[in-house]
Structure 1
Amino acid sequence: MKTAAKPTRERIVEAASKLFYSEGIRGVSVDAVAEKAGLTKRTLYYHFTSKDDLIAAYLDGRDQPNLALFQRWFDEAEGGLDDKVTAIFRNLGKSARHPKWKGCGFLRTAAELVDMPGHPAIKTGIAHKKRVEAWLRQEFAEAGATGAEALARQIVLLLDGGFAVVLLNRDASYIETAGEAAATLVRAALPVR
């Protein structure tokens, strides 16, 4: 039995995701995306009105899978809340050691679009980071952590700072060190038992 072909829009986003993540959004033309998807440029523009819309779709496609991955690492970790948070950083460190790892697609895109704060991809990136923060805030609040909102923001800052420094130094141990700092913050916020 023959499997159904992927919908055209999905093929375009998949091709764009591979190219944008590996080469950056400015380094990839719409022609290159159409070629990778096995389509004409006209077909691509039938599904996306502009490259900007395609960039936003690329990030939108990373949103839930990235959040789900963080949640899985958190849920699968044994130990207390600090261990669960550390697991996110530890797993990111493992990912960062892979030769094809290029960091956080949301942050890399934001850096390329720094002069365009209203860009649809920037809005998508902001929404993703807010979802990660909201999820962490909920986990911290449910665990009885003091200042769950501030703690979630601090952990997001450590995550994003870790991503940036690993890209600069090409040394995954930086994100693991950020995880140690995150664990310290979490332990300090938990009620004494």
Structure 2
Amino acid sequence: MTETAGRTRDAGPQQSSPVRERILAAANEHFYAEGIRAVSADRLIAAAGVSKVTFYRHFPSKDDLVLAYLEGRAAVERQALEQFRDQAGDACDTLLAIARGIADISCSPGFRGCPFINAAAEFADPAHPARRAIAAHRAWFATFLKDLLGEMAIHDRETVADQLIILRDGAMVTGYLGPDPATLTDTLIRAGRAVINDARASTAPPSDTSS
């Protein structure tokens, strides 16, 4: 399976079908476990149990399949984050739930790092459809965090959201390298609180020290 010359069109919404979902499930498993460029069309055709004609009817190019894979991963992550927010009592509880979720998944069996960071490392061109999909998802996550920070009356939400995303990325790398979930959870929560407390302190009105 080769990439098309230049860049393929951005894939629009595709009608789901059992065959298409089977191909995506195979791509999801093998792309994440082995790397996108390392997995051939023949591997995925065999894993999905489809013919080449059927495979390419659903995904005419590798870019189309990679984009669908990343969009599927993004949809799962967004659903999980929205569920954290729906189940939490407030924005602070939501951020705590996210930190615990990041630590748990980062230390779980089979975890191989953030799928978006992994994919970005394989596609150097920022104009590639995969990189644009990754950028769109990270922008969504930043907005999600800024909404929570707004509920907490944090003024410099842009900077704080960026700092929290850096903590998230670092936690995923650290989790992959081996600490237990409890240690990673505690470290991530402490670091996140420090970032938020620093933001609050920098915008707090000065105390009146006059006698």
Runs (4+) off by over 4 Å:
none
1:53-72 to 2 correspondence within 5 Å? 53-72=64-83
Instruction: State whether residues 107 and 175 of structure 2, in contact with CA within 8 Å, keep that contact through their aligned partners in structure 1.
Output: no
Gaps of 5+ in 2: 1-15, 205-211
Q: Distance in 2 between matches of 1:105 and 1:72?
A: 20
Q: TM-score, normalised by structure 1?
A: 0.84
1:22 positional shift? 1.6
**5 Å matches for 1:1-193?**
6-77=17-88, 81-113=91-123, 115-167=124-176, 169-171=177-179, 172=181, 173-174=183-184, 176-190=186-200
Q: Does the 8 Å contact 1:106/1:125 carry over to 2?
A: yes
Residue-by-residue CA offset, 1:109-150 (whole Å, 9 max, x unaligned)? 11122x332221111111111100011111211332121121
Cα distance in 2, alignment partners of residues 179 and 55 from structure 1: 33
Residue by residue, what CA displacement relative to the aligned partner does 1:18-67 show, whole Å, maximum 9, x if unpaired? 11112211221111111111111221111112112211110001112102
Q: CA RMSD in A?
A: 2.3
Percent of paired sites with the same residue: 34
Q: TM-score, normalised by structure 2?
A: 0.77
What is the rounded CA distance, in whole Å, between the counterparts of 2:57 and 2:158 in structure 1?
Answer: 42
Q: Which runs of 5+ in 1 are unaligned?
A: none
Q: Residues 175, 45 of structure 1: CA spacing in aligned structure 2 closer, same or farther, 3 A cutoff? A: farther
Alignment partners' CA distance in 2, 1:124 and 1:85: 24
Could you say what secondary structure the match of 1:102 adopts?
coil
Instruction: Supply the AA of the counterpart residue of 1:42.
Output: V
Which amino acid is 2:97 matched to? A
Residue by residue over 1:140-161, the C-alpha shift from the partner in whole angstroms, topping out at 9 and shown as x without a partner, is 1133212112111111111112
Do 1:12 and 1:44's aligned partners in 2 also have CA atoms closer than 8 Å? yes
Distance 1:108 1:91 in 2: 19
Task: Tell me which moved more, 28-37 or 181-190.
Answer: 181-190
Whether the 8 Å CA contact 2:23–2:44 is kept in 1: the answer is: yes
Distance 1:176 1:124 in 2: 31
